[in-house]
Structure 1
Amino acid sequence: MEKKIVFFDIDGTLLNNRNEIPDSTKKAVRSLQDKGIVTAIATGRIPSMFDWVREELGISSYVSINGQYVVHEGRTIYSNPIDRVILKELVELTTTSGHALATCSSDKVRALAENHPHIRNSFATIELPHPPVDPYFHLNEPVYQGYLFVDNEEQTVYDQKFPQLRFVRWHDYAVDVLPSGSSKAIGIEQMLRILGIRPENSFAFGDGLNDVEMLASAGIGIAMGNAVNEAKDAAKMVTASSSEDGIWKGLQMVGLL
């Protein structure tokens, strides 16, 4: 039998509306592992932001930072930092425009501004604190992703100014900042290559705008019932919400349970 793999987004997918992993999801993941099916995480978070998820589910391989940093069984197999010149220009524009920005390495997030309400409020929705402040962090560390805190109208300025970057919204006042062309799907390609798994034997669960490419490129993409319409349109199937045993039911739908 050919090897199979299932990729899981975290927020709104593995986690329910209380930011907890439902018992049915824990049971489903264990069942896959017992059958020899590879389980992996695919998230926009940096690794240190989901240590507890990996520990609870016994998952050691992941596509993190929206495909920018990929680890298989504890070994980094792919990394794609943002170009430093472009990053410098982004920092300059946010500074002159008065917009908040945070940047992340493979294991840290640092903000340029202290106690900014947009940072505080958006991070609170995923139960994360306002990151520490270090205005020089991006000069000393490889930066894989930025967090830009702007509304939709303000974002258009950045879309026009930086064709080399991709801005993916995840909150009314927050977007992820990535190199153009990057996505979870790119990171997943690297994982499949290392494992020798054919794309048609891959499955992916997600709910957000940053899951669209992953859901479209997987052998079978399954959108959560609570997913945005763009994710549902990209997926081959739609399961129940993350708070209504959506992972368990989705795996049953595709015959893995």
Structure 2
Amino acid sequence: MTFKVLFLDIDGTILKPDHTYTETTKTAIEQVKENGVEVFIATGRPLIEVKDLAQELNVDSFIGYNGAYAVYQEQTIINEPIDELLIRKFLDIAKANNHEMVLYTKDRNYYTSLDHPFVKQFNDIFQLKQNSLFTYDVADQIIGVTVMNIAPSQAYLYEIEDNIRMSQVNIEGATMAYDVIRKNVNKGEAITRILKRLNIPKEQAIAFGDGMNDKEMLQAVGEGFAMENAHPDLFRFAKHRTTSVSDSGIFNGLKVLGLVK
């Protein structure tokens, strides 16, 4: 099989818990690119926060904000903001339940509080820097949302439409955080649109992920890999299971396909 495109999640897939990556991960990306494979970073993170990593790995195409925004070789190809009315409902729910939120635009990360301990912890874990206090004048520009200080039993509160599901963040120290995922706007839907645009069949696409926000992504490609450190519920959506992020999971998965050596 000839493979033409590779999609890689960041946290728990490229990056280890200490915010570094194994040298084999960089080597794997270099080798597949030399063989003509397009490489996309596909993350829940805001893209403004991944530029340094992308430069280090020599990647210039992205899916960010869990599929709501995508860039192919510096050209924006997906931009799907969340309906402002829905954002206002989320904010009301968060306020009524003492939750905190970060609401992402393509330029900034807007927090309902900058001082709450959960916010500080979240920022330490993900090393987010482009941060401001939320104001309603950007409510129509939001392309992604993460809710913090929320118990698993409360996640349903935000599933106020059939199109919404909540995805627990699969990073140690951040399990009290959930991403808001739209069923029609997610990593998998973004990949389907990208494959169509690039005229690449699903069978020639590969993806690696570890969180439940990667569920649709692993199903949208021919060869989906769940990392050993993945959320336990993710494995049933993956065709393959590879080693952990700390044990060269991307390299070892690509080696199974004969793409690296």
- Structure 2-normalised TM-score? 0.91
Cα distance per residue 1:156-190 (max 9 Å; x no partner): 3223x344432211032111123343220011112
For 2:56 and 2:136, locate their aligned partners in 1 and report how far apart those are by CA, in whole Å: 35
Tell me which residue corresponds to 2:88: 88
Q: Helix, strand or coil: the match of 1:11?
A: coil
For 2:155 and 2:129, locate their aligned partners in 1 and report how far apart those are by CA, in whole Å: 24
For 1:240 and 1:137, locate their aligned partners in 2 and report how far apart those are by CA, in whole Å: 45
Tell me which residue corresponds to 2:53: 53
Cα distance per residue 1:32-60 (max 9 Å; x no partner): 11111111111001111111111011111
Residue 205 to residue 174, structure 1, CA distance change in 2 (3 Å): same
Residue identity in the other structure for 1:191: I
Q: Helix, strand or coil: the match of 1:20?
A: coil
Q: Helix, strand or coil: the match of 2:11?
A: helix
Tell me which residue corresponds to 1:111: 111
Deviating 4+ runs (over 4 angstroms): none
Shift of 1:193: 1.6
Q: Helix, strand or coil: the match of 2:133?
A: coil
Residue 179 to residue 237, structure 1, CA distance change in 2 (3 Å): closer
Shift of 1:114: 2.8
Tell me which residue corresponds to 1:167: 166
Tell me which residue corresponds to 1:204: 207
Residue identity in the other structure for 1:45: R
Q: Alignment partner for residue 179 of structure 1, among 168, 182, 196?
A: 182
* Structure 2 contact 164–180 (Cα < 8 Å) conserved: yes
Residue identity in the other structure for 1:119: V
- Structure 1-normalised TM-score? 0.92
1:195 is aligned to 2:198: yes
Residue 153 to residue 78, structure 1, CA distance change in 2 (3 Å): same
For 1:93 and 1:242, locate their aligned partners in 2 and report how far apart those are by CA, in whole Å: 35
5+ residue gaps, structure 1, are: none
Shift of 1:143: 0.6
Shift of 1:220: 0.4
5+ residue gaps, structure 2, are: none
Residue identity in the other structure for 2:178: V
Q: Alignment partner for residue 234 of structure 1, among 226, 237, 240?
A: 237
Question: Alpha carbon RMSD of aligned pairs, Å?
Answer: 1.8
Shift of 1:98: 2.5
Tell me which residue corresponds to 2:41: 41
Residue 57 to residue 130, structure 1, CA distance change in 2 (3 Å): closer
Cα distance per residue 1:188-226 (max 9 Å; x no partner): 112112211111100001111111111122110011111
* Structure 1 contact 215–231 (Cα < 8 Å) conserved: no
* Structure 1 contact 206–215 (Cα < 8 Å) conserved: yes
Tell me which residue corresponds to 1:131: 131
